[in-house]
Structure 1
Amino acid sequence: MSAMYAALLRGINVGGRRKVPMPDLRELLGKLGHEDVATYLQSGNAVFRSASGDEESLRADLERALESHFGFPVDCLVRSASYLADVVEACPFPAAELEGKQLHATYFDQPVDAARFASLDEESFHPEEYRLGDRVLYLYAPEGLGRSKLAVALGRPAVTRGLVATSRNWNTAVKLVEMTRD
């Protein structure tokens, strides 16, 4: 039985570097045997149907194919439709009351615990806030990600060492749920 997934590519098409055109990404996913392939925006969001059912093997296959095709490594995360819906449903912030640019989901390749963030003085970033979920960090940044001091602190190597992480604004997180619905 097949299921819907989203591939979240990290660090592509930024500043004219590491270009991965979305038509090429769709074609590559099709060549890997996936169906109902679609992309969203130019920032590396793709949805597809697969019979595999294993997020990690789907991720590894896609990363190998991307490096082979484009000549540079691309970190990816692959998440099931149900996981993406659970992330949106579990949001600890009032998403319906916020603009999409004020709320972000940072997806991780593995579970993270609060100890990783213990060095952060959360009060010094107020009114910005974050909360941890299942392989996700929810970031509330009222002035947007580009002005967020907390986002910079959360992205420091001391915090993210050993993780693959990629962020999406809330509009994109919700859109990916819509695109992966059967």
Structure 2
Amino acid sequence: MSRQIALLRGINVGGHKKFPMARQREVFESLGYEDVSVLLQTGNIVFADPGTPPAETASALEARIAEEMGFPVPVMVRTRDELAAAVAANPFPQAVPEPKSLHITFLSGPPADATGLRALQALDSARYAPDRFRLTGRELYLWCPGGIGRSKLAEAVSRIPLGVTATARNWNTVTKLLALADA
């Protein structure tokens, strides 16, 4: 069975936009999605592929969540194969043994802000060493060996407007989502 993975942005963070796991499952099931699994409270949902393109699935989810919860929640959806390709494309395999140091920021589309994209490309990697990043299509990989919370590179990258919606997950979460999609 083919699967899709929904990544919800900005829920259950700092007491804002509370959206309990059980409620997440209910909302997905109310749209007719089947075999729904929720990983963690931060909006990671794996479900049977409804046969619609991921962008259409994301739009339907955003509308239903806003209707049910009373606040907007951006949603990025990837197919199981798209998530597997993102895992396989990891440009920092040396980071895998320390999975909390590696993050993927999932973008709703390719960067749309040309000025922001140029600013991202102009970041001086040497200035932020040993932290590194790489943009590959709709995924931005960020490796922060000293931790993301203290990373000057993570801060710099997060301030650059790319003109798309983004949500980040650490490597542990990404690989667990892929395992759920494969189960």
Structure 1 length as normaliser, TM-score? Answer: 0.92
Q: Percent identity?
A: 43
Change over 3 Å in CA distance of 1:25–1:92 after alignment to 2: same
Change over 3 Å in CA distance of 1:178–1:23 after alignment to 2: same
The answer to whether 1:133 aligns with 2:132 is no
The answer to whether 1:179 aligns with 2:180 is yes
Partner residue, 1:123: 126
Change over 3 Å in CA distance of 1:145–1:34 after alignment to 2: same
Q: In the alignment, which of 124, 128, 149 is matched to residue 152 of structure 2?
A: 149
Aligned residues: 179
- Does the CA contact (< 8 Å) of 2:110 and 2:164 recur in 1? no
Residue 53 of structure 1: SS of its match in structure 2?
Answer: coil
What is the alpha-carbon distance in structure 1 between the residues aligned to residue 18 and residue 86 of structure 2?
28
Residue 139 of structure 1: SS of its match in structure 2?
Answer: strand
Deviation by residue 1:147-168 (Cα, 9 ceiling, x = unmatched): 1111111111xx2342100000
- Does the CA contact (< 8 Å) of 1:52 and 1:58 recur in 2? no
Change over 3 Å in CA distance of 1:125–1:15 after alignment to 2: same
Partner residue, 1:165: 166
Structure 2 length as normaliser, TM-score? Answer: 0.92
- Does the CA contact (< 8 Å) of 2:96 and 2:102 recur in 1? no
- Give the C-alpha shift of residue 95 in structure 1: 4.9
Change over 3 Å in CA distance of 1:97–1:80 after alignment to 2: closer
- Structure 1 unaligned blocks of 5 or more: none
- Does the CA contact (< 8 Å) of 1:3 and 1:53 recur in 2? no
What is the alpha-carbon distance in structure 2 between the residues aligned to residue 96 and residue 142 of structure 1?
8
Residue 12 of structure 1: SS of its match in structure 2?
Answer: coil
- Does the CA contact (< 8 Å) of 1:13 and 1:20 recur in 2? yes
- Give the C-alpha shift of residue 96 in structure 1: 6.4
What is the alpha-carbon distance in structure 2 between the residues aligned to residue 32 and residue 50 of structure 1?
12
What is the alpha-carbon distance in structure 1 between the residues aligned to residue 95 and residue 14 of structure 2?
31
What is the alpha-carbon distance in structure 2 between the residues aligned to residue 161 and residue 99 of structure 1?
28
Report 1:68-107 matches (<5 A). 68-95=67-94, 97-107=96-106
- Structure 2 unaligned blocks of 5 or more: none
Specify the code of the residue in structure 2 equivalent to 1:83: E
What is the alpha-carbon distance in structure 1 between the residues aligned to residue 62 and residue 96 of structure 2?
36
- Give the C-alpha shift of residue 79 in structure 1: 0.5
Deviation by residue 1:30-65 (Cα, 9 ceiling, x = unmatched): 111111101001111001013323101100000001
Q: Pairwise CA RMSD of aligned residues?
A: 1.6
What is the alpha-carbon distance in structure 2 between the residues aligned to residue 134 and residue 23 of structure 1?
33
